[in-house]
Amino acid sequence: MSWKEIYKSRLCTAEEAVKNIRSGDTVVLAHCVGEPPVVVDAMVANYKQYENVEIKHMVSLGKGGYAQLGMEKHFRVNPMFASANVRKTISEGRGDFTPCFFHEVPKNLRNGKLKIDVLLAMVTPPDEHGYCSLGTSVDYTLQAVKSARTVIVQVNDQFPRTYGESFVHISEFDHIVEASHPIVELQPPKIGEIEEAIGRNCATLVSDGSTLQLGIGGIPDAVMLFLKEKRDLGIHSEMISDGTLALYEAGVINNSKKSFNKGKMTVAFLMGTQKLYDFVNNNPCVEVRPVDYVNHPAEIMKQYKMVSINSCIQVDLQGQVVSECMGLTQFSGVGGQVDFVRGVSMGEDGKAIIAMPSVTVKKDGTMISKIVAFVDQGAAITTSRNDVDYIVTEYGIAPMKGKSLRERAKNLINIAHPDFKEELMAEYELRFHMEF
């Protein structure tokens, strides 16, 4: 059969495709922007036909209809990242959570430690050879295509066609649904004075020729604002968003000094506005590759002068970093934070930055220090005190590696919010039997 005949024979409606999901199956959703909303909606609408279908994903930006109250008998939510659409379901005990380093997801799909029966993914229309692109999300999605019993794809002609390792032949898909619509957009975050101050501090740790990993959010975007005077920067990052574009267009990012994948930005996934999707579409300068390559510490350590910038929820006075929980409540997931913190530190000349505002302000105006004597009860440590390298707030930089417990505490108190310094200093004096 020619690929065109295969395509035709597997073409169906979303309603027909989801009939191939069975009770007890584990359904994996392609990561982030690669989630196919038309197929997911059809699965949710067909809920009466299923019992105990497990739903797994990392970041999900979809409606999450499977996580709604009353769906528990039909769908069992069990992601590896608590996105906003499933957070309440998990905290109310109607769903579960599976901790997992991002770079280990493909391996665990291969070796069966992470179960998968069905994959739901979005792809581009096939090229003249019958190959579709996984577009924005190659990460674990490529491995999921190989490991799933049943692969259901939504072919969307508005999905960007990316280079790297994103191509899959049409014969690897079992059920093909055509549906065209714009791709989910994520607007650039608002950058205020505090983010700018943090960005300015982080930028002092980035020297010309560095290869960058930037997480999502206001802080990474703020850092970019202060990198305009740098030269020859490169990108080897779990993800990119719109912030990267301006620096690329200004010629600051040219990827010329990278140790490998020279001249290209290497990412596992991307999310942003339509401007970003237009930029990556058919652009050989951006390579989207599996996360067990991009995020593997053994690969990251080989990149020239790696600098990683991620954020967190809490840091204690030993430098233990909580990035995904508020006490026992799961707020997000480890994602690629530890993959990069470790890989960067394993390199000879890397710098792993955890950057955060010194306080978070709740809706009622209450200010909470993010630098604390003890992390909240029940919170999981994301980046250990042995892995942590630099902590940055709007008040400065606290180096951690090579520093004693006393030195760490002192460095952290020095970059804490002034309103909380006194109580932290009192804890210092109690703990170390000496004046601050």
Span interacting with ligand COA, options 104-112, 130-138, 257-265, 330-338, rule CB under 6 A: 330-338
Least distance from C-beta 356 to ligand COA, angstroms? 7
Does 332 bind ligand COA (CB under 6 A)? Our answer is yes
Least distance from C-beta 326 to ligand COA, angstroms? 5
Nearer to ligand COA, 134 or 291 (CB): 291
Residues marked active site are found at: 238
Amino acid at 353: I
Q: Which of residues 334-353 bind ligand COA (CB under 6 A)?
A: 335-337
Span interacting with ligand COA, options 93-101, 158-166, 168-176, 325-333, rule CB under 6 A: 325-333
Does 380 bind ligand COA (CB under 6 A)? Our answer is no
Does 239 bind ligand COA (CB under 6 A)? Our answer is yes
Nearer to ligand COA, 312 or 412 (CB): 312
Nearer to ligand COA, 156 or 358 (CB): 358
Span interacting with ligand COA, options 6-14, 69-77, 123-131, 311-319, rule CB under 6 A: 311-319
Q: Which of residues 356-375 bind ligand COA (CB under 6 A)?
A: 360, 362, 368, 370
Span interacting with ligand COA, options 22-30, 267-275, 321-329, 428-436, rule CB under 6 A: 321-329
Least distance from C-beta 334 to ligand COA, angstroms? 6
Least distance from C-beta 225 to ligand COA, angstroms? 16
Nearer to ligand COA, 168 or 235 (CB): 235
Does 314 bind ligand COA (CB under 6 A)? Our answer is yes
Does 285 bind ligand COA (CB under 6 A)? Our answer is no
Q: Which of residues 181-220 bind ligand COA (CB under 6 A)?
A: 215-217
Contacts 24+ apart (CB under 8 A), 279-286: 279/245, 280/136, 280/160, 280/162, 281/160, 281/161, 281/162, 282/160, 282/161, 282/163, 283/162, 283/163, 284/163, 285/248, 285/255, 286/162, 286/163, 286/164, 286/240
Least distance from C-beta 263 to ligand COA, angstroms? 24
**Interface ranges with ligand COA (CB under 6 A):** 215-217, 238-239, 310-314, 323-324, 326, 331-332, 335-337, 360, 362, 368, 370
